[in-house]
Amino acid sequence: MSTDIAVDIAAKASHAAKAVANLTTEQKDFVLQSMANHIRSASETILAANADEVATASANGTSAAMLDRLTLTTERINAMAQAIEQIISLPDPVGATRQIERRPNGINIEKRRIALGVICMIYEARPNVTADAGALCFKSGNAVILRCGREAIQTSLAIAKAMQQALREHELPDEVISIVPDPDRDLMLSLLKQDNYIDLVIPRGGEGLIRFVTEHSRIPVIQHFKGVCHLYVDQSADLQMALELLLNGKVQRPGVCNALEGLLVNKYIAADFLPMVATALAKHDVIVHACKQSIGYFANAQAIADSDFGQEYLAPEIAIRVVDDLDAAMAHIDQFGSQHTEVICTADQANAERFIRQVDSAVVMHNASSRFSDGGELGLGAEIGISTSKLHAYGPMGLEALTTEKYVVTGNGQTRG
C-alpha cells in the first residue's frame, strides 16, 4: 500500500523532472517570479492553514522553539517570497560547459552541467523550507518531493499549491513540486527505496533523523550530522583577534551548527590568553568546560575529562583545552571534530597552510569566524543543505550541488582503431 503510493509520487516527480530539465534560465526565472507573486496572493489561505496547525501543535504540547519555527506571519510569508526573488538573481548552473580536451584524433571533449533529476527533501516543521527548497530545486532544473513533519503538512500544502499555480500557468506539471501528504513512516521508507526515480535525498533535522534516513535509503543521502566546530589559537596569534573570533563563534548565535563548541589554546600563550577569555566569557554567561591545564583561569569552570570532548552544546557553553602545539590541536580536531568547520587563528603563514591542508573538514578557516560557514556568507546565495560527508558535495550546498556534469563528445565521423 505505502509502496504503491511511493511509486506513484516518485514516478510522477521523475516524469515532471523532464519538463524542467531543459527550461531556459529566462523561463525558470519567469516562473519563479510568478511563484513569489502567488505566495503573496495566497497569504490568507496559507495563514489560515498555518493557524490551525499551530493550534493543534500547541494543544499537543509542542515545544516553544518548534512552535516558533512552525508559526507564519504576513512578514514571514513575504520573506519567503523575497527569498524566491533572491534565487532568481542567482546564476543558473545548468548548461555551463567546460572544455576538457581536443584529442589527437580530432574529437572534442566537453563537460556540460545538467540537473540531477528528482530531489527528495525530508525535513521537520519548517514551512519556509517548502518554499526555499522548491525554488532552489526548480532553479537548478530539478523536480522535488517535499516530505515535511506532520505538524506542518497543511501549511506546506498551501504554500506548494501557490507555487503549483505558477507551474500550471506555464504548462508545467504540479509534480515539479510535490508534497508528501501523509506523515506515515512506512511511506517515507518506501520513498527511500525508489532509486529508479529519485536521484538524491536531503534530510534536514537532528542527527537521529539523518542516521535513520541513511540507514534505510537505497538512494544517495546528503549527510549533515552535527557541527562540532573548533577554534585553535596558535602561538603567534593576535590575541585580540582570537578573542573576537571566539566571542563571535560562541556568543553571537550559539544554537546553530557553525557556532564554536571547542577552543584549543597553544600552551605558550595560555597564560596570556586564557585570562582574557575568562573575563569575556563570564561577561556573556558562557558555561566553561575546562581541561586540567586551563581550569585554574576560570572562576566557575567545570572540569572535563579528555574523553568528554566533542559535545555539540548548541548553547552558551564551550569546551576549552590547552594543547602543546599545532599537531596536538589537529589531533584533537581529528578525534572530536565533525568535519563541518574548523578555524585557526595565527600570524604564522606556514602553520595556517599546514592546518588548511591537513585538517579534514568541509570548511577550513584562517583568521575568520566559524559563523561564516554557510551558503549565504560563502557567496552561494542560498543553501539547500550542508554536507559533512564527502561524496558529491562537501560543505554548504548551493544550486551547483543540485546538478552534475555529462560528457559531450563531438567529432566528424571518428571511429576507434
Q: Name which of 9 and 213 has its Cβ closer to its own copies.
A: 213
Q: Which long-range contacts (CB under 8 A, 24 or more apart) does 346-353 make?
A: 346/233, 346/234, 346/235, 346/236, 346/237, 347/234, 347/236, 347/237, 347/238, 348/234, 348/235, 348/236, 351/234, 351/236, 351/326
Site string for its own copies, 192-211 (x = CB under 8 A): ---x---xx-----------
**H-only helix segments in 140-284:** 153-169, 185-191, 207-216, 239-251, 270-283
Residue 98 as a binder of its own copies (CB under 8 A): the answer is no
Task: Kindly tell me which residue out of 149, 373, 384, 397 binds its own copies, with binding defined by CB under 8 A.
Answer: 373
Q: Name which of 300 and 410 has its Cβ closer to its own copies.
A: 410
Could you tell me the smallest distance in angstroms from the CB atom of residue 13 to its own copies?
15
Task: Kindly tell me which residue out of 143, 365, 382, 384 binds its own copies, with binding defined by CB under 8 A.
Answer: 365
Q: Name which of 162 and 364 has its Cβ closer to its own copies.
A: 364
Site string for its own copies, 154-193 (x = CB under 8 A): ----------------------------------------
CB-based contacts of 16, cutoff 8 Å, min separation 6: 143, 172, 173, 174, 175, 176, 178
CA 135 vs. chain centroid, Å, equals: 15
Task: Kindly tell me which residue out of 363, 382, 384, 397 binds its own copies, with binding defined by CB under 8 A.
Answer: 363
Residue 100 as a binder of its own copies (CB under 8 A): the answer is yes
Quick one: cell of 66?
A: 518548534
Residue 245 as a binder of its own copies (CB under 8 A): the answer is yes
Task: Kindly tell me which residue out of 361, 382, 385, 399 binds its own copies, with binding defined by CB under 8 A.
Answer: 361
Give the Cα separation of 73 and 155 in Å (integer): 12
What is the full DSSP assignment across 240-256? HHHHHHHHHHHHS-TTS
> What are the φ/ψ torsions at residue 203 (nearest 5 degrees)?
-90, 140
Nearest to 256 by CA among 314, 343, 316, 319: 314
Residue 362 as a binder of its own copies (CB under 8 A): the answer is yes
By CB under 8 A, which span of 4-12, 280-288, 320-328, 402-410 interacts with its own copies?
Answer: 402-410
Residue 384 as a binder of its own copies (CB under 8 A): the answer is no
Task: Kindly tell me which residue out of 174, 238, 317, 325 binds its own copies, with binding defined by CB under 8 A.
Answer: 238
Residue 142 as a binder of its own copies (CB under 8 A): the answer is no
> What are the φ/ψ torsions at residue 147 (nearest 5 degrees)?
-115, 95
Residue 89 as a binder of its own copies (CB under 8 A): the answer is no
By CB under 8 A, which span of 59-67, 128-136, 285-293, 384-392 interacts with its own copies?
Answer: 384-392
Give the Cα separation of 280 and 285 in Å (integer): 9
Task: Kindly tell me which residue out of 51, 109, 271, 303 binds its own copies, with binding defined by CB under 8 A.
Answer: 109
Nearest to 345 by CA among 250, 267, 241, 274: 241
Task: Kindly tell me which residue out of 25, 33, 37, 389 binds its own copies, with binding defined by CB under 8 A.
Answer: 389
Coil, strand, or helix at residue 137?
A: helix
Helices 25-41 and 153-169 pack at an angle, to 10 degrees, of 130
Q: Name which of 171 and 215 has its Cβ closer to its own copies.
A: 215
Footprint of its own copies on this chain (CB under 8 A)?
18, 21-22, 95, 100-101, 103, 107, 109, 112, 114, 116-117, 195, 199-200, 214-215, 218, 220, 238, 241, 244-245, 247-248, 252, 334, 352, 356-358, 360-369, 371-373, 377-379, 389-396, 404-416
